[in-house]
Amino acid sequence: MRIIKLTESTRQNILENLLKRSPNSYGQFEASVAEILANVKENKDKAVFEYTEKFDKAHIDASNIQVTEEEINEAYGLVDEKLLTVIRKALVNIRTYHMKQKQYSWFDSTEQGTILGQKVTPIEKVGVYVPGGKAVYPSSVLMNIVPAKVAGVSKIVMTTPPGANGKVNPTTLVAAKEAGVDVIYKVGGAQAIGALAYGTESIPKVDKIVGPGNIYVALAKKAVYGHVSIDSIAGPSEILVLADETANPRYVAADLLSQAEHDEMASAILITTSEELAQNVSVQVEQLVQELSRKEIMEKSLENYGYILVAETMEDAIETANEIASEHLEIVTKDPFNTMTKIKNAGAIFLGEYSSEPLGDYFAGPNHVLPTNGTAKFFSALSVDDFIKKSSIISYSREALMEIHKDIEDFATSEQLTAHANSIRVRFED
């Protein structure tokens, strides 16, 4: 990996390079996505079936687009029992963590006759998109469905592309069933997002769409936002390790590669105050890349978006970490909890040398659907909050309103909204 001295100039160059990975930088695909969405909106099932034939080489129609109970039962027979056990253990951790996020309605009343409050209501219908093809991520299935279930969503609809044989990956089906999905449809790509956003004869329109996907899926979600809600527009995966001289270079190298293997656009960055650690991590990365299966992907990822930055001080390192606002941030310093208090921007923070990033991906419980491309400055991890709505509750008695009605009338009149003022005034006419 390239080793660079951290300066203001190198920091700005890296930030600009990382932003090239954003889905917002791929406008050349937007026309194709818009065409697919318009076709699905107008022709509904017909368009979905045609695109599935074209892109997935699968013959899908109204009779087989919905995954049946028989297919799910068949999937259970194809999934290794050990993996099923792990999925169930992970589910317990994920559900327990998200239960702590659950919010409840509340009301405050006063003796003057006022009641103010907040009514929490689950979103009624949610669509979960799950990638298919070579990408099989049952962990993402759990992370998207569980918080929706905890929130109390009435109907969770999942879409995922079928293989050429018209079947869905069995591990995906089993994970969805275990997490509590209501119905699964065999459709992927931008056409699946269109079907969920607009509704077709077979697939119901939902209120919100969540889940990761390729650039076509990301741009389709961006295009339908406003017509329905979405979780976020996810970019390529990324990890930033903040370390000092106490860090184990082999551990750090392994963690950097755990994200570099995702795809060629993934980013893996080490920021350290130790020149010796920087050199040792670079050596370990070179060795480990030769031993791991996705060598070509990792090499390309590191060539494009891999950096080892050597900072003068830990303050400089922390400032840069906050600027990058990484999806995953590992802190491997002498006192990681103290360092963590200075971090403002990160999707998920992993503390100490035994809290490696895959712990969060699969098992610990916090959600692994995280903000990317610097959006951790204003976005959070997927949570139960993403599947609820909050309505304000206001109730005043005549006596309570009488005390302040003149104030409201004056405020409204100052904005020249006389009908607003009159709406209050008529209640106190002689």
Q: Check if the beta carbon of residue 334 is closer than 8 Å to that of residue 288.
A: no
pLDDT over threshold 80, residue 175: yes
CB 243 within 8 A of CB 335: no
Residue 133 pLDDT > 80, yes or no?
A: no
- Predicted confidence at residue 201, as pLDDT, reads 98
The question of whether 327 is a catalytic residue gets the answer yes
Sheet holding 106-109, edge to edge: 106-109, 114-122, 388-396
Per DSSP (E only), the strands in 155-310 are 155-160, 183-186, 208-210, 229-230, 238-243, 267-272, 306-310
Longest dimension (CA), the chain: 88
Of 178, 238, 261, 327, the catalytic one is: 327
Catalytic residue among 328, 330, 357, 368: 328
| pTM strictly above 0.75 | yes
Closest CA to 157 of 117, 191, 120, 124: 124
Using CB atoms within 10 Å of the CB of residue 125, give its burial: 0 to 12 exposed, 13 to 18 middle, 19+ buried.
middle
pLDDT > 70? residue 413: yes
Nearest Cα neighbor of 29 from 196, 222, 265, 270 is 222
Cα(232)–Cα(215) distance, integer angstroms: 13
Q: Return the structure tokens found at 339.
A: 């360092």
Place of tokens 């082999």: 250
Q: Is the pLDDT of residue 298 over 70?
A: yes
Least confident interval from 17-26, 214-223, 296-305: 17-26
Confidence of residue 280 (pLDDT cuts 50, 70, 90): very high
What percentage of the chain exceeds 90 in pLDDT?
Answer: 91
pLDDT at 134: 65
Residue 328 appears among annotated catalytic residues: yes
Pick the closest to residue 348 from 331, 370, 374 (CA basis).
Answer: 370
DSSP letters along 388-419, please? Answer: EEEEEEEEE-HHHHHHHHHHHHHHHHHTT-HH
